Chains A and B, each alone.
Chain A
Amino acid sequence: DTAVSQTPKYLVTQMGNDKSIKCEQNLGHDTMYWYKQDSKKFLKIMFSYNNKELIINETVPNRFSPKSPDKAHLNLHINSLELGDSAVYFCASRDINTGELFFGEGSRLTVL
């Protein structure tokens, strides 16, 4: 069973469009994250949610809106996509006992 699953794995879209990425974890963790990995592989945290509540918003443009309907799901909606949004987006959840993060396989977004 996949612990953290993201869909879709690939998105190719035009500038100005809106897109969503979904994430689900079956590990029972309370805390979930969205990270953005750029072309140089630098991983930057975007959002952190704990039990459906937003904890961290790291100066991400408000075109990015996360939503957590329950603690097992953390979705990311992006409005008015820009070229610079092209990246791989990773969802992760955290084991509070060990501090270890469990990552999804990533969603590669390409904005043309």
Chain B
Amino acid sequence: SQQGEEDPQALSIQEGENATMNCSYKTSINNLQWYRQNSGRGLVHLILIRSNEREKHSGRLRVTLDTSKKSSSLLITASRAADTASYFCATTVVGYSTLTFGKGTMLLVSP
């Protein structure tokens, strides 16, 4: 069954605002990754956070991981129209190498 669930399903904001997306999962994980998918394109890796890490930054991206709550959040600061895309969390479950994806959050950033 699906491991990750993103929330919200869709998010609409103005340029310059911050966007926060959440991901919850069900079983113990090795790591959690976030991917971006522009319309009609393949997925692109954004950031990976390991199960023993709590927070990670990459440019305007900030990811947190709370293994006690089995949840993660992706924050995009100072959003731009080019950030418009679907964002997916994906987890690697302990004992397996396969990535299981959530249903994604569709982010729309209006100029």
Which residues of A line the B interface, CB within 8 A?
Answer: 4, 31, 33, 35, 40-45, 48, 56, 90, 92, 94, 98-106
Contacts and interface: CB of A to CB of B under 8 A. Distances in A.
A101 B104 contact: no
Among B30, B31, B35, B101: residue with most chain A CB under 10 A: B101
Contact of A40 (B31, B101, B103): B103
B41 to A, nearest CB: 6
Contacts of B101: 35, 42-44
Given A48-B98, A103-B42, 6 more contacts: A31-B97, A41-B37, A41-B104, A45-B99, A98-B48, A105-B41
Contact of B98 (A4, A56, A103): A56
Among B40, B42, B106: residue with most chain A CB under 10 A: B42
Interface residues of B, number: 25
Nearest to B101: A43
Given A31-B97, A41-B86, A45-B100, A100 B42 contact: no
B100 A101 contact: no
Interface string B27-59: 000110101010011111100100000000000
Interface string B7-31: 0000000000000000000000011
Given A40-B103, A43-B88, A56-B98, A99 B42 contact: no
Contacts of B104: 41-42
Contacts of B35: 101
25 contacts: A4-B42, A31-B97, A33-B98, A35-B101, A41-B37, A41-B103, A41-B106, A42-B101, A42-B103, A42-B104, A43-B43, A43-B101, A45-B99, A48-B97, A48-B98, A56-B98, A99-B31, A99-B99, A100-B33, A101-B33, A101-B90, A102-B45, A105-B42, A106-B40, A106-B42
